């Protein structure tokens, strides 16, 4: 706990939060462990404005751990579709099933037991315990890292082990003795609304009087960026196969790798492979090459070359039980599709 009376870090932050903090986020009413965990998982690498409608839709369909654990994976992924980083959704369900089996259908209140669950790291575990139960555990999400780096003048990329160690030590030191849940939310809110990545509003920040970044003129340079590295590029050809009813042919992706277990368009490496793949299944006229799509992942850049076949006539019926299925163009929301594939198909409508 912070013992320096001159800093009053938490006191100033809580006073600001009472007047300017966010008090109407959907996961705050009610603020239980399941809703906090779900929101924190969705908010990883995703902004609040994007997450809110997904969260509302998700909890309406799956209001508790038991429902999530029992749901078909396709339903979970469909609700997640568009948020990206789909491993988060798969780990959510895996954790829900472990909780049903080992923790009486609840997220454990013990930090180590919570940390042992799939997809729950130190910051998420701290957020669940602090926000849902008021227990004194720090968090270190992107917003909090930015606030602490600027306020304490911490240099170095926040993802490095040394910088992480320093930030966790500060986060633990500044925990107040009371109002842990409000303090935790206040830190996140300050980073999201005042101490923003670009054009921070330092004039209204409650911590400005002893902010080292503001004093030294380094606010715009903190936190330091990750050392740059060149990303490799990959190319694929995506088969957009439509029948006379306007349905599109989808293929289930493998259970591991990029977009694991999602429905997507069949892919090949070359145009000739695309023709051969389709000729085995259907009679189809000449294809139309559509504009290339670029999509960037954390570890590579993907260039997608869509090839459109219209009025394809399958030689055998395709049901919905295997790795191939027809999907009506006006019912794409029912399946989990990668974001660039969904945008392409929506545009073709």
For 252-299, the DSSP string reads: EPPSSSTTTT-EE--EESSHHHHHHHHHTTEE----EEPPPEEEE-SS
Could you give the percent of the chain with pLDDT greater than 90?
Answer: 81
Give dist(CA 240, CA 33) in Å, integer: 42
On whether the CB atoms of residues 36 and 131 are closer than 8 A, the answer is yes
Give dist(CA 221, CA 150) in Å, integer: 9
pLDDT digits over 231-242, tens only?
899 999 999 999
Active site residue 347: no
The pLDDT-based confidence of 2 (bands split at 50, 70, 90) is very low
Dihedral of the CA atoms 15, 196, 339, 270 (nearest 10)? -150
The answer to whether residue 282 scores a pLDDT higher than 90 is no
The helix/strand/coil state of 217 is coil
Looking at residues 170-194, what average pLDDT do you find? 97
The answer to whether residue 6 scores a pLDDT higher than 50 is no
Q: What pLDDT was estimated at residue 320? A: 60
Choice among 40, 233, 267, 347 that is catalytic: 40
The answer to whether residue 18 scores a pLDDT higher than 90 is yes
pLDDT digits over 301-345, tens only?
999 999 999 998 888 888 665 799 999 999 998 899 999 999 999
Residue position matching structure tokens 């008021």: 134
132: number of Cβ within 10 Å = 20
On whether the CB atoms of residues 86 and 256 are closer than 8 A, the answer is no
Q: What pLDDT was estimated at residue 7? A: 54
The helix/strand/coil state of 155 is coil
Mean pLDDT rounded to a whole number for the chain: 93
Q: What pLDDT was estimated at residue 5? A: 44
* Nearest partner of 142 among 192, 206, 176, judged by Cα: 192
Are β-strands 301-309 and 324-327 bridged in parallel, bridged antiparallel, or unpaired? unpaired
pLDDT digits over 19-53, tens only?
999 999 999 999 999 999 999 999 998 899 999 99
Give dist(CA 76, CA 70) in Å, integer: 10
The helix/strand/coil state of 186 is helix
The helix/strand/coil state of 127 is helix
The answer to whether residue 285 scores a pLDDT higher than 80 is no
Looking at residues 121-129, what average pLDDT do you find? 97
* Nearest partner of 92 among 113, 119, 73, 72, judged by Cα: 119
The answer to whether residue 1 scores a pLDDT higher than 60 is no
Please give the residue that has the higher pLDDT: either 258 or 52. 52
Can the peptide bond before residue 122 be classed as cis, meaning omega within 30 degrees of 0? no
The pLDDT-based confidence of 192 (bands split at 50, 70, 90) is very high
Give dist(CA 187, CA 336) in Å, integer: 34
pLDDT digits over 85-115, tens only?
899 999 999 999 999 999 999 999 999 999 9
Q: What pLDDT was estimated at residue 85? A: 87
Give dist(CA 276, CA 61) in Å, integer: 41
Please give the residue that has the higher pLDDT: either 126 or 347. 126
DSSP 131: I
């Amino acid at each position: 706990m912070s013992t320096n009376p001159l800093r009053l870090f938490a006191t100033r932050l809580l006073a600001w939060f009472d007047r300017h903090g966010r008090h109407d986020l959907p996961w705050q009413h009610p603020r239980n462990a399941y809703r906090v965990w779900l929101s924190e998982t969705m908010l990883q690498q995703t902004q609040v404005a994007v997450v809110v409608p997904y969260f509302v839709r998700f909890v309406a369909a799956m209001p508790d751990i038991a429902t999530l654990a029992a749901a078909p994976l396709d339903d979970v992924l469909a609700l997640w579709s568009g948020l990206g980083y789909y491993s988060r959704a798969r780990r959510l369900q895996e954790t829900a099933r472990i909780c049903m089996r080992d923790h009486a259908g609840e997220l454990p209140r013990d930090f180590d037991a919570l940390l042992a669950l799939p997809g729950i790291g130190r910051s998420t575990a701290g957020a669940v315990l602090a926000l849902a139960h008021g227990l004194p555990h720090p968090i270190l999400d992107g917003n909090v890292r930015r606030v602490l780096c600027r306020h304490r003048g911490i240099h170095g990329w926040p993802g490095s082990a040394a910088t992480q160690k320093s930030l966790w030590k500060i986060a633990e030191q500044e925990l107040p003795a009371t109002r842990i849940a409000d303090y935790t939310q206040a830190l996140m809110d300050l980073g999201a609304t005042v101490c923003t990545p670009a054009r921070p509003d330092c004039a209204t920040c409650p911590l400005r009087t002893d902010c080292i970044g503001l004093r030294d003129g380094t606010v715009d340079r903190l936190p330091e960026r990750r050392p740059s590295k060149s990303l490799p590029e990959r190319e694929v050809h995506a088969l957009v196969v439509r029948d006379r009813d306007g349905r599109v042919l989808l293929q289930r992706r493998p259970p591991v790798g990029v977009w694991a277990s999602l429905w997507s368009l069949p892919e090949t490496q070359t145009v000739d492979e695309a023709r051969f793949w389709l000729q085995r299944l259907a009679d189809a006229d000449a294809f139309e090459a559509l504009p290339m799509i670029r999509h960037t992942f954390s570890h590579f850049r993907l260039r997608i070359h869509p090839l459109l076949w219209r009025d394809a006539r399958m030689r055998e019926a395709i049901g919905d039980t295997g790795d191939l299925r027809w999907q009506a163009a006006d019912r794409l929301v029912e399946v989990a599709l990668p974001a660039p594939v969904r945008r392409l198909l929506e545009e073709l409508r």
